[in-house]
Amino acid sequence: MLDYPSAGRGALAAGRVTVTIAVRAGRAPKTGRARALKREQKLLAFDPGYRDAISVLATHAPEIEDLAETFPALLFALATGYGTPETRAAALESILSGRSLLAASAALGLPWWLRRLPGAAFRRPFKPLPADDTFAVRIANAIPSSPAHVAPWLERVTYAYEAVDRDFALWMASAFRGAAPVPGHEALAWMTAWAWHSRHTDTSGYRLIRRPWSALIGARRALEEVTCWQNRIGMIGPVERTMPDLWCPEGEAMGLRFVPLVTVEDFIAEAEAMDNCLDQFGLHLESGTRRIYSVRKGAKRIADVDLGPHPTDTRIPQIVQLRGPRNRRADSAVWQAAYAWLAGSAANPPSLEDIARRRRHAHQALRRFWAPHLQDTAGTEHNLCLEQLLLGGGATRPAASRTATTARREPLADSDRRLEPGRHGAV
């Protein structure tokens, strides 16, 4: 009889999962220095954290040891407790009785396409992955050619499948499989959250997406869209912290109407209509002392005005910026109307007490924003990563971007770059 441990990183310390199988008579493990050396070379390909458990299992029978070369994933799965004791026993029985490796992997419930991956690809126990033929054919075409890239590639595919779905996993496999820059820890969490919200059109997160994920989008464009979405989410806290009656109320002067932007959706609509970066303006609103107004003539939006405290008397507002469509300079008539409106309005300066109180509201608003996603992905690696970002503020602040906002923006003079929020801040 043969007992082997189901072990990996920390699993050996946590306990042993024992599967008992019958070893076929006459097939005892070979001995000798040459055999031991060959086995050691094969096993060295596996992650050091699992190598001992794999080695213990491999020494029990030549057929099991041969898996290090013929089906490394199957050997790794058996040694790390994949499946149930019953399915592992069935898989081992198939191996030792000479049946096909396909039959053994089917008995264990291990996807057959994993046979294409080298032992170095496995750095953590397997999680469920699609095993159907359609997925297998498509994923096989996306496996990196360099063995050094396979392990992180497999982890990204597993992460994407667990948090979103098979289509996103296939896209992730194909879009980020080579030596080109791939999303890091935080970027992967953001991209996955963006893809998930793209699939859930009834969420607040979907309403902030400029372009949703699809299987047709390219990797570079996806990174740009994620950055745009991230910066829009970064608007939630600052907008919530801004007092609804800060500075001047909505008013008219010289035939123009000055309308305050009070929600993230207002900023997005204004940015789209004016072709500027107001939907990425969160960092400029962090202090709670700035307020943006849309300047309109009838139903037409013609400019945006940014009010902030005067440097010599913070109880009085001043015009920080006044810009037309595409961040162009506004006409002198618009400036005259803005000053007339400002002079005729009763100023309501920011209150430190109100700002502190509204910071709590902002935190609650962000929690409500993320709640559907966190609930749906509970128990996944992505959920843990995103929770860590939330606790550290990384999922609440705007992101630095050099690409997300440049396509539709004209260069600004240095004095005007305050209207380019995508150029500031970092996760």
Q: Which domains does the chain have, with CATH numbers?
A: 2-115 (no CATH), 238-347 (3.40.630.30)
pLDDT at 35: 65
pLDDT (tens, 9 = 90+) of the chain, 427 residues, equals 344 444 443 333 333 334 444 444 444 444 567 766 766 777 899 999 999 999 999 988 999 999 999 999 999 999 999 999 999 999 999 999 999 999 999 999 999 999 999 999 999 999 999 999 999 999 999 999 998 899 999 999 999 999 999 999 999 999 998 756 677 889 999 999 999 999 999 999 999 999 999 999 999 999 999 999 999 999 998 898 887 888 999 999 999 999 999 999 999 999 999 999 999 999 888 888 899 999 999 999 999 999 999 999 989 999 999 999 999 999 999 999 999 999 999 999 988 787 777 778 888 899 999 999 999 999 999 999 999 888 766 555 555 433 333 333 332 233 333 223 333 233 2
Q: Which amino acid is at 191?
A: M
- What is the value of pTM for the model shown? 0.80
Q: What is the pLDDT of residue 270?
A: 97
Bridge-partner residues for 303, per DSSP?
A: 295
pLDDT of residue 1: 37
pLDDT confidence of residue 403? 34
